Amino acid sequence: MASKILLTCSCLILSLCFGGARAQGLSWSYYDVSCPSFEPIVRAQLKKVFKNDIGQAAGLLRLHFHDCFVRGCDGSVLLDGSASGPGEQSAPPNLSLRAEAFKIINDLRRRVHNKCGRVVSCADILAIAARDAVFLSGGPDYSIPLGRRDSLNFATVNEILENLLPPTSYTSALLVSMDRKGFTATDLVALSGGHTIGIAHCPSFARRLYPRDPTMDKTFAKNLNATCPTTNSTNTTVLDLRSPNTFDNKYYVDLMNHQGLLFSDQDLYTDKRTRDIVTAFAVNQTLFFDKFVKSMIKMSLLGVLTGSQGEVRANCSARNANAVLVSSVGEAEEKRSGF
């Protein structure tokens, strides 16, 4: 496993404005006083989870992505629907999110709250779980600023569709979408490296098989034909052909060999604006890890709620009955922690 990447707080990064909300209010030592055992509890439990099923690492990482790229890293994707409308989980891009990932986050919330009280937000738990999913599957270890609050509502289907582009998207569309959030081409390619672990369902790439996409390796396509005999097959296959359960740079090697599963992935190597970045990451895993960490931290600051905004949920899948009371408790903890 990669050695821990030590990161210091960058005033420049924390002053950036993403999605209309500034990242002020976060701290690298936010829970040092109020819940010092928060991160050790999460890591210890996830070690047990992944020992039993390493596939859950990809599920948690993807859940964090789908949370952050819509309204920001506010835990809104964790909310169940209510009388006010359907939750984000029912939107088309989120239908394939692993049900077990939601259960894991709520279980982690229970363990952390049993130890520290209702201090740590579900948004922070998800962010740390995603970080540990990367590290415990072979990727880099790193610190992220904490202090996010949980949202009081969820995004509409239209918002989700606008921000979570389908796997059939061209790099051009992805670059435009990412640029709106303050991300560069390097960020796009680095974050796409999250596909070095996990699986995809046949409908997400079957159109590349019938007829065969000319950018796809023939032998690779033939093998996929056996997995997905029809365009509506419900089967799944791994995203990274070479090391599907290890977080490494082999995903980029796949792309260079025209063995990227999703069109949106393979097009990163086809497009001249991102091709050299793919190549650089394929030949230098250390470089990929460094850029991935920076992009992940940048993503974790998207649209965060802090201070008196939002709440700290008692149940990650439901809003609190009394948000004002929880806000008061949270603010007291922030003052107690010296922030």
- Active site members: 66
217 is in an annotated binding site: no
Total residues belonging to the chain: 339
CA distance 105 to 263: 30
CA distance 300 to 337: 21
Half-sphere exposure of 222 (CA within 13 A, CB side): 3
Could you identify the residue written with the tokens 């609050």? 149
74 is in an annotated binding site: yes
70 is in an annotated binding site: yes
Residue 166 neighbours by CB under 8 Å, 6+ apart:
93, 204, 264
248 is in an annotated binding site: yes
- Specify the DSSP class assigned to residue 309: S
32 is in an annotated binding site: no
- Specify the DSSP class assigned to residue 289: H
67 is in an annotated binding site: yes
267 is in an annotated binding site: no
In order of 90, 149, 284, the CA distances from 113 in angstroms are 28, 15, 40
Check: CB of residue 167 under 8 Å from CB of residue 263: yes
- Helices and strands counted in the chain (H then E): 14, 4
Q: For 103-241, list the strands marked E by DSSP.
A: 199-201, 236-238
Closest CA to 207 of 226, 228, 187: 228
331 is in an annotated binding site: no
Closest CA to 239 of 199, 202, 210: 199
- Host H or E run for residue 207: none
Check: CB of residue 242 under 8 Å from CB of residue 257: no
Pairing mode, strands 21-22 and 17-18: antiparallel
196 is in an annotated binding site: yes
Q: Which amino acid is at 42?
A: V
- The angle formed by the CA atoms of residues 20, 22 and 26, to the nearest 5 degrees, is 145
* Sign of CA pseudo-dihedral 184, 253, 143, 325: positive
258 is in an annotated binding site: no
Annotated binding site: 67, 70, 72, 74, 76, 88, 195-196, 240, 248
User: What residue numbers does the annotated binding site for heme b cover?
Assistant: 195
Binding positions for Ca(2+): 67, 70, 72, 74, 76, 88, 196, 240, 248
